[in-house]
Structure 1
Amino acid sequence: MAWNAGRFDRWTSFGPSAAAVLLCTAAVLSGCSKNESSSGSNAASDTSAPAAASAAPATTASGGGENGGKAKIGFSVSTLNNAFFVGLKLGVEKGAKAEGFELVQTNANGDAQQQVNDAINLLSQGVTALVLNPIDSKAIIPAVQKANQMGVPVFTLDRGSDGGKVTSFVASDNVALGQTGAKWIADQLKARYGSPKGNVVDLIGLVGTTAATDREKGFSEEIAKYPDIKVVARQEGGFDQEKSLNAMTNILQKFPQIDAVFGANDDNTVGAEKAIDNAGRYKPLGDKEHIMVIGADGTAQALSAIRAGKQDATISQNPIQMAAKSLSFISDYMAKKEVPANYAWPTLLIDKANIDSDEVKKYGLWSLEVSQ
């Protein structure tokens, strides 16, 4: 079945936990964009042959396959020029090892047509299942349809497909994530002014991705509930630091009074924070002129900015555990067990007050694991 952003009631939740209380159930990503750290490029594994198979144990996976009974899984990641997607890659590798799969990986490097070609190439190698992290929800449709024609189940991670049949889609509930960001801003403005009012900037994610679409939907619908909060600017940050820096620079020149910024991911917020610094408009937390900034994903840069008082909060995901869960669903599918069509991984709001808490440690600071 194709992903439908309106079917939130059909998501299978992660289950009760302290981390899940704050947000969650449905949608796609992360989340995400360029990161200035070199971790993404260093971890790149642009293989079209089974180079990653050495990571898999010698045990035989359910469902059989080539190479001593191992099932061969094809994985196409959208890019590795971003720590979040490096986290997805790490999670897929861990999941494949745990399930006893042979893993064949490709990196599309942000090129939607290349990703389709990569996916079709993986199918030609006789993969048992195909895991996709789409660059574009529409552009990926031919690859999904080709897999459908060949009888190969498709599993999508973080971002969905607008067509073809997807067996299981694992992601955060990005509509809820956007709603959480808007509600957090409203609460902070109420604490500052006595009622939720003020000027807000909305830096949208990468247009064409389900994550950006759903986060914007959630944010816009929730912020509209507060008539005295004015969204003075909505611009695409593209999940990209430089693009967000340029967009926020122009916005700051136009609007002398800005109270808060919602970044669709943490690269958007890092770009916004740099623009605020460059404009000489940074004020510390607690100052009445402090521009509040909240993002999403829980990247290492965001956590550092929160500790430094440059960013107020991030709505963290956990791409490593999210991706590993998708691989466990492949195992279940091969064992003819029921798997959820849509599975929502919980998110957690992290700020300076809870960043060192047991709750956050239990949820997992995935970006620290990626950087190791």
Structure 2
Amino acid sequence: MAWNSARFNGWSSLAAPAGAGLLCVAAALSGCSKSESPSTGTAASDASASGAAVASAAPASAPAGKTKIGFSIATLNNAFFVGLKLGVEKGSKAESFELVQTNANGDAQQQVNDANNLLSQGITALVLNPIDSKAIIPVVQKANQMNIPVFTLDRGSDGGKVTSFVASDNVALGATGAKWIADQLTKRYGSAKGNVVDLIGLVGTTAATDREKGFSDEIAKYPDIKVVARQEGAFDQEKSLNAMTNILQKFPQIDAVFGANDDNTVGAEKAIDNAGRYKPLDDKAHILVIGADGTAQALSAIRAGKQDATISQNPIEMAAKSLNFIADNAAGKSVPATYAWPTFLIDKSNIDSDETKKYGLWSLQVSQ
């Protein structure tokens, strides 16, 4: 898919390895289950597995000849971010980096504290997966002052100098969801018309902002499609369940739901079930549901006919790519300021195809 926003004109992209179903997309987030996953990488050591800053840690240097990387992840409370963590560990091992990790557990201030602590530990590069694109700015600026290169992963920063930002083109991802809905409604009714629900991601993240822009701009091209409700699902199953429950009570006719990630869609699907509104895929009363990320729950829901499609990312390979860029930068090579990892639309027709397997069902590598 061509870029649909001037914001991404400068993005580098990976040549699509998975064929015509592959879509390049920009600045991400998503997620799945509620269990916590400790660090398991053999090349990694957690500076703070609980997300708490190590207040008494003295500045430390990497062993001679060893590049020491600090990594601050937003949360491990969903599968997508566990995938990012695995990818950072994979990339660090491949590049023979020493890795120090922290988990902010969804707390933006904790992430600032964690990242500042990492900067005091003699790291040679900082990888950030920001919770809040504005709150993280002081950390990026401090790293800039210390001449420590910053690499952002999946979510960006609204300020400071970032050496390289690796993500998916989330504007394009949102547009893909809207176009898919329009196409499905055209098949159902003969023209693009119907009532649609938009469950927005976590407000304050670049991924949510960009996905919403892409979806809203694209769906506006279809004047007979009415977005009857826009509510924040916050990339959270419970919040999305509550939001969708209220929406279903208010609107007796709903044709489709766009979830900004698969946690949003799983929550919506539970609400549809609870309300007795689920109909099989071939029923014209079936509420079409499309999400993003390709989580294990989404894949199961697609096979069960509860979810129609997901626009999958691959957080493991995306994160590993960011670590490759750190190695290149350290070697004096040029790295792209922004790099778009491709996405792939999965539905019941291709979920078990060779093309899908080639792209990678990352969630099968994540255990929670």
Q: TM-score, normalised by structure 2?
A: 0.92
- What amino acid maps onto 1:24 in structure 2? C
Q: Which residue of 2 aligns with 1:169?
A: 165
Q: Which residue of 1 aligns with 2:10?
A: 10
Structure 1 runs of 4+ aligned residues shifted over 2 Å read 16-22, 35-38, 42-47
Would you say how many aligned residue pairs link Structure 1 and Structure 2? 349
Structure 1 contact 19–346 (Cα < 8 Å) conserved: no
1:42 to 27, 31, 37: 37
Cα RMSD between the aligned structures?
A: 1.6
The structural deviation recorded for 1:18 is 2.5
> CA, structure 1 residues 268+355, in 2 after alignment: closer, same or farther (shift >3 Å)?
same
- What amino acid maps onto 1:366 in structure 2? W
The structural deviation recorded for 1:164 is 0.1
Q: Which runs of 5+ in 2 are unaligned?
A: 50-60
- CA deviation map 1:50-83 (0-9, x unaligned): 9xxxxxxxxxxxxxx7313111000000000010
Cα separation, 2, equivalents of 1:20 and 1:117: 44
1:279 to 272, 275, 281: 275
SS of 1:288's equivalent?
coil
Structure 1 contact 131–156 (Cα < 8 Å) conserved: yes
Q: Which residue of 1 aligns with 2:326?
A: 330
Cα separation, 1, equivalents of 2:245 and 2:150: 41
- CA deviation map 1:211-230 (0-9, x unaligned): 00000000000000000000
SS of 2:24's equivalent?
coil
- What amino acid maps onto 1:48 in structure 2? A
Cα separation, 1, equivalents of 2:96 and 2:342: 26
Structure 1 contact 137–159 (Cα < 8 Å) conserved: yes
SS of 1:7's equivalent?
helix
Structure 2 contact 48–103 (Cα < 8 Å) conserved: no
> CA, structure 1 residues 203+105, in 2 after alignment: closer, same or farther (shift >3 Å)?
same
Cα separation, 1, equivalents of 2:62 and 2:312: 38
- What amino acid maps onto 2:219 in structure 1? I
SS of 2:172's equivalent?
helix
Q: Which residue of 1 aligns with 2:23?
A: 23
Cα separation, 2, equivalents of 1:106 and 1:66: 17
- Map 1:1-372 to 2 at 5 A: 6-19=6-19, 21-25=21-25, 27-32=26-31, 35-36=32-33, 38=35, 41-44=36-39, 47-48=46-47, 66-371=62-367
- What amino acid maps onto 1:271 in structure 2? G
SS of 1:48's equivalent?
strand
- What amino acid maps onto 1:10 in structure 2? G
Cα separation, 2, equivalents of 1:277 and 1:359: 31
- What amino acid maps onto 2:156 in structure 1? G
- What amino acid maps onto 2:38 in structure 1? A
> CA, structure 1 residues 21+301, in 2 after alignment: closer, same or farther (shift >3 Å)?
closer
Q: TM-score, normalised by structure 1?
A: 0.91
